Chains A and B, each alone.
Chain A
Amino acid sequence: GQNIDQPTEMTATEGAIVQINCTYQTSGFNGLFWYQQHAGEAPTFLSYNVLDGLEEKGRFSSFLSRSKGYSYLLLKELQMKDSASYLCAVLDSNYQLIWGAGTKLIIKP
């Protein structure tokens, strides 16, 4: 079967750095997405990786290793507004998105 694994919950301190990991086992791979979802709100797009390596976008960076079936989202200079769930999703060989259950990130002052 197809599977996306992310930690259920993480806690970090304001101003610090946090890395949210995502491992996947899917039938084929056509890219990996990260979305942010604040409680009670719609998910919003953060990043898309299809090639190995690190993509940086401001305070957020996303890394992909296709050979290891692994990605991480790196958040720097954490702010209270970064408290949210972070969803990892993989596009499989049929171009269907397979979603992880999300990682709830709690930021403490």
Chain B
Amino acid sequence: EADIYQTPRYLVIGTGKKITLECSQTMGHDKMYWYQQDPGMELHLIHYSYGVNSTEKGDLSSESTVSRIRTEHFPLTLESARPSHTSQYLCASSEGGVDTGELFFGEGSRLTVL
């Protein structure tokens, strides 16, 4: 059973607000990822981390930032939300690299920016 949690599950905010999407996992996984997924579309990697104090940008240009101060915690921050940020954000973790095992996903955070 995967233990990876995201909060909030749903969020509606106004343009210009700063928001942080939380992601925590209790599996001790070193590798964590943030994906963006629009309905009926493919997942796009926006950030990933291979361990504490390691963060990298993914293939999707994003105005978000991440931090990895603790193994279990990988929050995503939008400094100034815009309507174009409206999407579902999925956090995931893996025990090894993706080539060695499966990704465990959180339930997702659905963000609507008005």
Give chain B's interface residues, CB within 8 Å of chain A: 40-45, 58-59, 90, 97-99, 102-108
Contacts and interface: CB of A to CB of B under 8 A. Distances in A.
14 contacts: A8-B40, A41-B107, A41-B108, A42-B90, A43-B90, A43-B103, A43-B105, A48-B102, A91-B98, A95-B98, A96-B45, A97-B45, A101-B40, A104-B40
Contacts of A41: 107-108
A100 B105 contact: no
Contacts, number: 48
Contacts of B59: 96
A13 interface: no
Contacts of A87: 42-43
Nearest to A97: B98
A42 B107 contact: yes
Interface majority SS on B: helix, strand, loop or mixed? Answer: loop
Nearest to B38: A101
Interface residues of A, number: 23
A99 B59 CA distance: 12
B23 to A, nearest CB: 12
A107 B44 CA distance: 28
Contacts of B108: 41-42
A100 B40 CA distance: 10
Contact of B99 (A45, A91, A100, A101): A91
